[in-house]
């Protein structure tokens, strides 16, 4: 028997509906903030991610689905959404349009990881990217949009904020951090990180490393005056919108392109996979990918994990909906013709396709959780009056066949 590939899954109608709702709510929110949808291919040239995401990141080092096509080109299933959006921004010279330029995306990403709770090889992200606004208000808008999404869904999340400064700040900080940590007791990974990318040590969950970091210098003490000012204004802007947050100087994100603001939305309800989303500012990426120097800030939210939290906004109540048409010979053909007329007028109608008896058809109406059973048999055609049964209460009434479509459309629980 075939199964879905490891780390991927099928979405059966009930869950697919939940994902559709999450997408619709995200798209609606993005539009309210003035973001337009930008769809990019599922795969890109591998080099885009190598350069855009960063050679030394986990994503590029070990998580990419990379393959060679028949033209000997190296392609990669997109592991994240920002690099492709930036590529499109540059390729279509969108920087020539009105600034700032604001885009959102929603779709699957691919990472070759060992699956576990809340971690998949094909995962869905909703993200936004804002180009051309260097000031802190842009950071605040993006962070607020993500916060707003959680609020509308009714999902609890904690906002964690940090600033990793600019290249200049980090030179000084890295020196301080390396000299502080050198010679201390850390895990093997961190010892190598110390040389290659010392900021990653901050992200280590190892107890020994955490202990070593207790009194380590923090990046926020090394921000240059402009970066400090920017960070202060981001915090003030969030406070002004009554968005609560905590500052975590250890928050370092796994992609190389960030500068200044970084943030994550976390949950306590998913075990060890606590990140629901995150983002930050990436002022150098557009230029790195061949465009004009353009400041930018963005975020990405993990839809799979959010869905796992059972957002209250997705509760549909589980009520009955729609109409089941009960047919019987020799009047079935005529009844079915009427059903199609009802469908053309927007009424959702199902009917028996297996030549089952009346009793079984009512049972089907029940099992499919239809709100109404509409009986049209020989007697009804003769009298011109259809029998309508409320499958919730059991009450029955008669409807005039000539006006049945309008009457049904007006009923509760039809759609």
Partner RNA sequence: GUGGGUGUAGCUCAGCUGGCUAGAGCACCAGAUUGUGGCUCUGGGGGCCGGGGGUUCGAAUCCCCUCACUCACCCCA
Distances in whole angstroms, Cα of residue 27 to Cα of each of 129, 145, 156, 268, 275 = 14, 11, 20, 26, 21
Residue of the chain from 22, 77, 101, 123 that contacts RNA (CB under 7 A): 123
- Contact indicator for 201, 190 with CB cutoff of 8 Å: yes
Instruction: Name which of residues 137 to 176 contact RNA (CB under 7 A).
Output: none
Residues 184, 303: Cα–Cα separation, whole Å: 39
Smallest separation (angstroms) from RNA to the CB of 179: 21
Q: Does 394 bind RNA (CB under 7 A)?
A: yes
Smallest separation (angstroms) from RNA to the CB of 273: 5
Binding mask 179-198 for RNA (x = CB under 7 A): ----------x---------
Smallest separation (angstroms) from RNA to the CB of 99: 25
Smallest separation (angstroms) from RNA to the CB of 180: 18
Q: Does 334 bind RNA (CB under 7 A)?
A: no
Residue of the chain from 107, 134, 217, 378 that contacts RNA (CB under 7 A): 378
Q: Does 363 bind RNA (CB under 7 A)?
A: yes
* Residue of 44, 49, 45 whose CA lies nearest to 62: 49
R_g (Cα) of the chain, nearest Å: 28
Q: How far apart are the first and last CA of the chain?
A: 37
Residue of the chain from 25, 95, 107, 119 that contacts RNA (CB under 7 A): 119
Q: Does 200 bind RNA (CB under 7 A)?
A: yes
Cis-peptide, bond into residue 330, ω within 30° of zero? yes
Residue of the chain from 101, 213, 275, 408 that contacts RNA (CB under 7 A): 275
Smallest separation (angstroms) from RNA to the CB of 294: 21
Judged by CB under 7 A, the stretch of 20-28, 38-46, 174-182, 388-396 that binds RNA is 388-396
Q: Does 205 bind RNA (CB under 7 A)?
A: yes
Burial class from Cβ neighbours inside 10 Å (0-12, 13-18, 19+) for residue 372 reads buried
Smallest separation (angstroms) from RNA to the CB of 4: 7
For residue 288, give both structure tokens.
Answer: 């790195």
Residues 58, 126: Cα–Cα separation, whole Å: 21
Binding mask 46-85 for RNA (x = CB under 7 A): -----------xx---------------------x-----
Residue of the chain from 167, 358, 402, 409 that contacts RNA (CB under 7 A): 358
Burial class from Cβ neighbours inside 10 Å (0-12, 13-18, 19+) for residue 198 reads buried
* Interacting residues of 313 by C-beta distance below 8 A, sequence separation 6+: 21, 25, 152, 153, 154
Residue of the chain from 3, 70, 188, 344 that contacts RNA (CB under 7 A): 3
Residues 217, 179: Cα–Cα separation, whole Å: 10
* Interacting residues of 131 by C-beta distance below 8 A, sequence separation 6+: 89, 94, 95, 99, 100, 101, 102, 103, 286, 294, 295, 296
Residues binding RNA: number (CB under 7 A): 72
Binding mask 215-254 for RNA (x = CB under 7 A): -------------------------------------xxx
For residue 24, give both structure tokens.
Answer: 């619709």
Smallest separation (angstroms) from RNA to the CB of 71: 28
């Amino acid at each position: 028997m075939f199964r879905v590939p490891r780390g991927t899954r099928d979405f059966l109608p009930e869950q697919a509906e939940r994902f559709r709702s999450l997408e619709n709510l995200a798209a609606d929110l993005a539009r309210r903030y003035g973001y337009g949808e930008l769809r990019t291919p599922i795969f890109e040239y591998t080099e885009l991610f190598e350069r855009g995401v960063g050679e030394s990141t986990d994503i590029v080092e070990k998580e990419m689905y990379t393959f060679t096509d028949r033209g000997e080109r190296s392609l990669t299933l997109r592991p994240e959404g920002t690099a492709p959006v930036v590529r499109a921004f540059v390729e279509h010279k969108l920087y020539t349009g009105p600034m700032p330029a604001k885009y959102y995306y929603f779709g699957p990403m691919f990472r070759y990881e060992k699956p576990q709770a809340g971690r998949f090889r094909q995962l869905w992200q909703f993200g936004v990217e804002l180009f051309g606004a260097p000031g802190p208000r842009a950071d605040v808008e993006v962070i607020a949009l993500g916060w707003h999404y959680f609020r509308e869904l009714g999902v609890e999340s904690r906002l964690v904020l940090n600033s990793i400064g600019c290249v200049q700040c980090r030179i000084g900080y890295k020196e301080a951090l390396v000299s502080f940590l050198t010679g201390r007791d850390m895990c093997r990974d961190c010892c190598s990180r110390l040389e290659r990318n010392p900021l990653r040590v901050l992200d280590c969950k190892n107890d020994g490393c955490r202990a070593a970091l207790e009194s380590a210098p923090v990046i926020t003490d090394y921000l240059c005056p402009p970066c400090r000012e920017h960070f202060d204004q981001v915090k003030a802007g969030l406070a002004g919108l009554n968005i609560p947050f905590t500052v975590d100087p250890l928050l370092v994100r796994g992609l190389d392109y960030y500068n200044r603001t970084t943030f994550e939305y976390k949950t306590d309800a998913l075990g060890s996979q606590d990140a629901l989303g995150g983002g930050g500012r990436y002022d150098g990426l557009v230029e790195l990918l061949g465009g004009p120097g353009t400041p930018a800030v963005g975020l990405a939210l993990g839809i799979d994990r959010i869905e796992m939290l059972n957002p209250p906004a997705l509760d549909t109540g589980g009520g009955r909906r729609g109409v089941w048409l009960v047919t019987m010979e020799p009047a079935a053909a005529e009844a079915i013709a009427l059903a199609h007329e009802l469908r053309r007028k927007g009424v959702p109608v199902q009917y028996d396709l297996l030549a089952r008896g009346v009793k079984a058809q009512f049972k089907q109406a029940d099992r499919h959780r239809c709100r109404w059973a509409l009986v049209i048999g020989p007697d009804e055609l003769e009298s011109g009056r259809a029998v309508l049964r409320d499958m919730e209460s059991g009450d029955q009434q008669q409807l005039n066949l000539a006006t049945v479509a309008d009457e049904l459309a007006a009923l509760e629980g039809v759609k």
